[in-house]
Amino acid sequence: MLSPQHIFLDYLLKNKMAATEQRRVVLEVFLDADEHWSCEQLYLEVIKKDSTISSATVYRTVKLLVESGVAEQLCFGDGVLRFEPRFNRPHHDHFVCINCKNKIDVVDERIEKLQQCLAEKHGFLLTRHKMILYGICSDCRKK
């Protein structure tokens, strides 16, 4: 399987875009993200590696990451778009604790299959999905 770096560079090449140092830095920092980062958070990490990179470039590069399929855009409803790598980790859904705001990755193969069935039943060609479960996590329930 191709690496995210390879996929992204391929995408740039195919679209006659330059593989600039800034884009490489943003990609590397993004792939290290173990959370669902906003562009702002990503920018704050990026300038630790290269303080001359502007937030505009981060926003522009993140768009390219999404277009190339390396990043997935998430929307938890808090007014900020968030992003996560699509390739370093398998597909998963999200549980968001409405108390402590913690976000945990979850996955259930049976649900995945039923989503496919549901789509087919309606004649849809399912390309991707997002599922967010809201509630109270086990830690917060104990308190």
Partner DNA sequence: GTTATTGCAAAGGCTTTGCATGGGG
Partner DNA sequence: CCCCATGCAAAGCCTTTGCAATAAC
Task: Report in angstroms how near the CB of residue 113 gets to DNA at its nearest.
Answer: 33
Contacts by 78-82, CB closer than 8 A, 24 or more apart:
80/38, 80/40, 81/38, 81/39, 82/36, 82/37, 82/38
Residues 6+ apart with CB under 8 A from 23: 8, 12, 61, 64
Q: Decide: 93 and 131 in contact? Cβ < 8 Å.
A: yes
Gyration radius from the chain CA atoms: 17
Pattern of binders to DNA over 24-63, x per CB under 7 A? --------------xxx-----------xxxxxx-xxx-x
Q: Which does 20 bind (CB under 5 to 8 A by kind): its own copies, DNA, none?
A: DNA
Choice between 26 and 97, CB closer to DNA: 26
CA distance 39 to 55: 8
When binding is defined by CB under 7 A, the residue of 19, 98, 100, 136 that contacts DNA is 19
**Residue ranges in contact with its own copies by CB under 8 A:** 73-77, 79, 81, 95, 97-98, 104, 106, 108, 110-111, 114-115, 117-119, 122-138, 141
74 binds DNA (CB under 7 A): no
Smallest gap from residue 120 Cβ to DNA (A): 33
